[in-house]
Amino acid sequence: MSDRHVETCPLSCVCVFQPVEAAYLYDAVWVYARAADALVAQGYDSSDGRRILDNIKGTTYKSTYSASGT
């Protein structure tokens, strides 16, 4: 396995190699979606980028790439 790929086994199926950038993109979309969902639940507009970033700050996330972010 090269540094440019990540081994993933979604839903216990056959392992595949995917570019590490795919894992980073997945993580970014997931964090954004969680923040947008929380804003909508609070009655705010999900297109308010400043509120989304404020919502993301201070949260933690376990990455698909086995890295944790804060």
Q: Are the beta carbons of 17 and 7 closer than 8 angstroms? A: yes
Whether residue 27 is contained in a domain is answered as yes
Residue length of the chain: 70
Whether residue 2 is contained in a domain is answered as no
Those residues with Cβ within 8 angstroms of residue 45's Cβ, 6 or more apart along the chain or in another chain: 39, 51
How far is residue 38's CA from residue 51's CA, in Å, rounded to a whole number? 10
Query: Domain containing 33: what range?
Result: 21-61
Model confidence over 27-53: pLDDT tens digits?
A: 899 999 999 999 999 999 988 999 999
Give the tokens for residue 19. Answer: 């570019």
Whether residue 54 is contained in a domain is answered as yes
Rounded to two decimals, the pTM is 0.64
Quote the pLDDT of residue 15: 60
Radius of gyration of the chain measured on its C-alpha atoms:
15
Whether residue 57 is contained in a domain is answered as yes
